[in-house]
Amino acid sequence: MSKNFMTLQFAAKSENESFARVTVAAFIAQLDPTLEEIHDIKTVVSEAVTNAVIHGYEEDANGIITISAVIDGANIEITIADNGKGIENVEEAMQPLYTTKPELERSGMGFTIMQNFMDEMNVESKVGEGTKVTLRKKITLNSMIS
């Protein structure tokens, strides 16, 4: 199977989170993933987009979120990026239950969920410039693909 890719940009609005996760799920459907794999990818996209909306842009709908996805054989790489406020301490932000928005009843489990549902996760962030989360997963190839 040859390499394939997509890029999507949209306003940093909470209501676009479902659009983003369904779009990425539709893109990876060409690999005939299991229902669990689709669920995992939809969940991580949802978590990353929600983080960008709430933390990166602090609900400023003028922000733009960019998602790119690349399929290379059975491997999928998804990147969710914003140009928001950035994360001061990525290592601290990745700790389970850590949140900068306790008043919003945030669980602080977004990065933990992303790590557990994907094979690899990388977070790059610069204060004042934004955050990029790169997620990788190998999809179980069914008999449809050789």
Tell me what pLDDT residue 100 has.
62
Determine how β-strand 4-11 pairs with β-strand 120-126.
unpaired
Among the options 77, 106, 124, 136, which is catalytic?
106
Domains of the chain: 4-138 (3.30.565.10)
Q: Alpha helix locations (H) across the chain? A: 17-28, 35-51, 90-93, 110-117
Among the options 17, 37, 51, 83, which is catalytic?
51
Q: Is residue 103 annotated as part of the catalytic site, yes or no?
A: no
Kindly state the DSSP code that residue 88 receives in the 8-state scheme. S
What is the rounded distance in angstroms from the CA atom of residue 4 to the CA atom of residue 47? 24
**pLDDT tens, 47-78?**
999 999 988 998 788 999 999 999 999 999 99
Q: Is residue 15 annotated as part of the catalytic site, yes or no?
A: no
The pTM is what? Answer: 0.88
Q: Is residue 122 annotated as part of the catalytic site, yes or no?
A: no
Distances (CA, A) of 9 to 19, 66, 110: 11, 4, 21
The string over 30-57, giving b where at least 16 C-beta atoms fall within 10 Å of a residue's C-beta and e elsewhere, is ebebeeebbebbbbbbbbbbbbbbbbbb
**pLDDT tens, 86-120?**
988 888 777 766 666 655 555 666 788 888 999 99
φ/ψ of residue 71, rounded to 5: -110, 125
